[in-house]
Structure 1
Amino acid sequence: MSSDRRSARTTADPGLIGLLGFVIATLTAQLAHLGVQSESAVFWVGAVFGGIVQVTAGMLSYFAGDDFHFIVYNAFGWYWICMPGFLLGGELGFFEVSGPVRPLFSVMFAIIAFGFVFAGAMHNTVLPLTLICVSVGLALEGFGTISESDPLGTVGVWFLLAASALATYLLIEKFYLRTMGRRVVPLGPAWISAGADPTP
């Protein structure tokens, strides 16, 4: 991509901050699950990077006419706003969420992430793999908490760490393509070919 083409663009790609928010929030949460750091970091990093940054990316995708990233970033952005709220409620005893509600919330988003896989598979190989890792990781963590199985939850953590690594890979490709006009890492072919545009 030439400098003329880059300067001709009127907007930046909101996926840059969306992926960044996902990577940082997911990594922080999984390190807390592994006992490397406390949940205090999850509250602040999750609310800001996972929540505010991803919702912002989602709303900017709306104005760019990008339906896929509009719903994906908003869905997980609001997930990350709710999760710190659960932590805060537990600390303050205010609208406290207890019992199986939190893990079931994660399982629900595991199903949502899996639903995104098929549309993501129309883009490249890495994106659907990332969403599959998110789906499996959230499901294992949720069911691990419900069944009180620490090993199951730990496996879920590693799937989510893999999702964070894959999202970092996507971010590297997108950043260098947008700023230098070069594809520095391969994303692989799409798994599903695009159908007809349903809009009139």
Structure 2
Amino acid sequence: MTGRTADPGLIGLLGFVIATLTAQLEHLGVQNESPVFWIGAVFGGVVQVTAGMLAYFQGDDFHFLVYNAFGWYWICMPGFLLGGELGFFEVAGPARGVFSLMFAILALGFAFPASMHNSVLPVTLLCVSGGLGLQAAGAFTGVELLGTVGAVLLLAASALAAYLLAEKFVWRTMRRRVVPLGRPWIAGDPDRES
């Protein structure tokens, strides 16, 4: 397969899976915020922005926007944590809720074009939207249960993204379709992998 470039979606999905899993484990009290800062900044931020920029050079507008949007989300989140620790430009309470709500709306919007790829991708983005929306509602109301349910939805999104990553990796390295993704919900480009 000479002349073929690597699929930036491999690292983009990997960055999303690792950063989301780490952040939600912290949200559920399994670990502290320290790993979220570093893993969020590097895997969630740098890796996803890199994947988005590589998708740009492939002319893939969908993945360019999705990976960049969530990559920059993950660059901002560690900044929120650092500001809280240092007491410098702190972002707390409703401000974090507004930030989460903006990205919940973005994920919901991304679910529509994602439904042209397969069935798993839009479900993943709907889980992201629901999870961030519930965490935003928890930040606005102070009801911790909303944030906890949001964390569970985001863990589901991380698991679904890992599933997408497995399919993409096996297809790209072995040319085998072993992980079913389901048919697209909306007719689109049949050459898209995920």
Q: Give yes or no for the alignment of 1:51 onto 2:70.
A: no
Give the corresponding residue for 2:134: 140
Q: Give yes or no for the alignment of 1:79 onto 2:73.
A: yes
* 1:110 Cα deviation after fit: 0.1
Which residue identity does 1:171 align to in structure 2? L
Q: Give yes or no for the alignment of 1:178 onto 2:172.
A: yes
Give distance in 1, aligned partners of 2:92 and 2:27. 18
Higher mean C-alpha displacement, 135-144 vs 99-108: 99-108
Give the corresponding residue for 1:11: 5
Query: Greater Rg, structure 1 or structure 2?
Result: 1
Aligned residues, how many? 189
Give distance in 2, aligned partners of 1:133 and 1:89. 28
Which residue identity does 1:156 align to in structure 2? G
SS of the aligned residue for 1:190 comes to coil
1:63 pairs with one of 27, 34, 57: 57
Q: Give yes or no for the alignment of 1:32 onto 2:26.
A: yes
Runs (5+) with no aligned partner, structure 2: 190-194
Give the corresponding residue for 2:106: 112
Kindly, what percent of the aligned residue pairs are identical? 73
Q: Give yes or no for the alignment of 1:155 onto 2:133.
A: no
* 1:188 Cα deviation after fit: 0.2
Q: Give yes or no for the alignment of 1:97 onto 2:91.
A: yes
Which residue identity does 2:176 align to in structure 1? R
SS of the aligned residue for 2:118 comes to coil
What is the CA RMSD across the aligned residues, in angstroms?
1.0
Which residue identity does 1:98 align to in structure 2? A
* 1:191 Cα deviation after fit: 0.2
* 1:94 Cα deviation after fit: 1.6
Question: In the superposition, relative to structure 1, how do residues 14 and 71 fare at CA in structure 2: closer, same or farther (>3 Å)?
Answer: same
* 1:114 Cα deviation after fit: 0.2
Give distance in 2, aligned partners of 1:182 and 1:70. 26
Q: TM-score, normalised by structure 1?
A: 0.92
Higher mean C-alpha displacement, 186-195 vs 51-60: 186-195
Give the corresponding residue for 1:3: none
Which residue identity does 1:177 align to in structure 2? W
Give the corresponding residue for 2:35: 41
Give distance in 1, aligned partners of 2:142 and 2:29. 17
Question: For each residue in 1:132-165, what CA deviation from the matched residue of structure 2 results, as whole angstroms up to 9, or x when unmatched?
Answer: 0000000001111210111111110110000000
8 Å CA contact 2:93–2:139 kept in 1: the answer is no
Q: TM-score, normalised by structure 2?
A: 0.95
Question: For each residue in 1:154-200, what CA deviation from the matched residue of structure 2 results, as whole angstroms up to 9, or x when unmatched?
Answer: 110110000000000000000000000001110000000128xxxxx
Give distance in 2, aligned partners of 1:34 and 1:78. 23
